[in-house]
Amino acid sequence: MSTASPISQEMPGQSNTYILDASAVLRFLDKEAGYERVREILRNHSLGSCQAVVCALHWGEVALTLARRHGPVHQAQIIGELLSLGLEIIPATGERAVRSALLKARLGIPYVDAFGVELACDSPEHCFVTADFDVKPAVGEVQIEFLPTK
């Protein structure tokens, strides 16, 4: 089983890859606690000094939340604006699904969040950014940056 990932191949000059979960993206969109930090990550990503990615499962959570709040037309517009920032959506492959399931089983973290943690496992330079404190059991496994509570 291959462990290679599209994000494990760092671009020249990059020092970090930030894996944003749904809570981080929604904090940014809603201008809630921690949105400045996510904005900084996205700005640095657009300048090429870091990479910002979102797991496909977290991306789906963002899309669902936006559709429920604003309807499908506005949701599509917001998703398009986010993609125009250059966010990369990392697919949930079968291999990642299995590794994420094992993380969930071992750490007791939510399954979707296990995908973000699994992405962060690809390199010590990867950092999972979240406002979800349910992933605290993974702190010893990977770098996690917790956004402040609301």
- Asked if pLDDT for residue 6 goes beyond 90, the answer is no
- Asked if pLDDT for residue 1 goes beyond 60, the answer is no
**Which residue shows structure tokens 């929604």?**
26
- Asked if pLDDT for residue 127 goes beyond 90, the answer is yes
pLDDT-derived band at 69 (thresholds 50, 70, 90) equals very high
Over residues 119-135, the mean pLDDT reads: 95
Give the pLDDT confidence score for residue 5 in this predicted structure. Answer: 37
Give, as one character, the DSSP assignment of residue 87.
Answer: P
Q: What is the distance between the alpha carbons of residues 137 and 140, in angstroms, rounded to a whole number?
A: 7
- Asked if pLDDT for residue 11 goes beyond 70, the answer is no
Give the pLDDT confidence score for residue 135 in this predicted structure. Answer: 96
The CA-atom distances, in angstroms, between 1 and each of 81, 122, 123, 135 are 35, 14, 17, 26
Q: What share of the chain is helix, strand, coil (3-state, %, to 5)?
A: 55, 15, 30
Over residues 39-63, the mean pLDDT reads: 96
Over residues 84-99, the mean pLDDT reads: 95
pTM of the complete model:
0.87
- Asked if pLDDT for residue 46 goes beyond 70, the answer is yes
More confident of the two residues 109 and 14: 109
Q: Burial level of 97, CB count in 10 A (0-12/13-18/19+)? A: middle
Give me the numbers of helices (H) and strands (E) for the chain, helices first please: 5, 5
**Which residue shows structure tokens 């010893």?**
140
Q: What is the distance between the alpha carbons of residues 29 and 149, in angstroms, rounded to a whole number?
A: 16
Query: Tokens in use for 38?
Result: 């996510």
Give the pLDDT confidence score for residue 150 in this predicted structure. Answer: 81
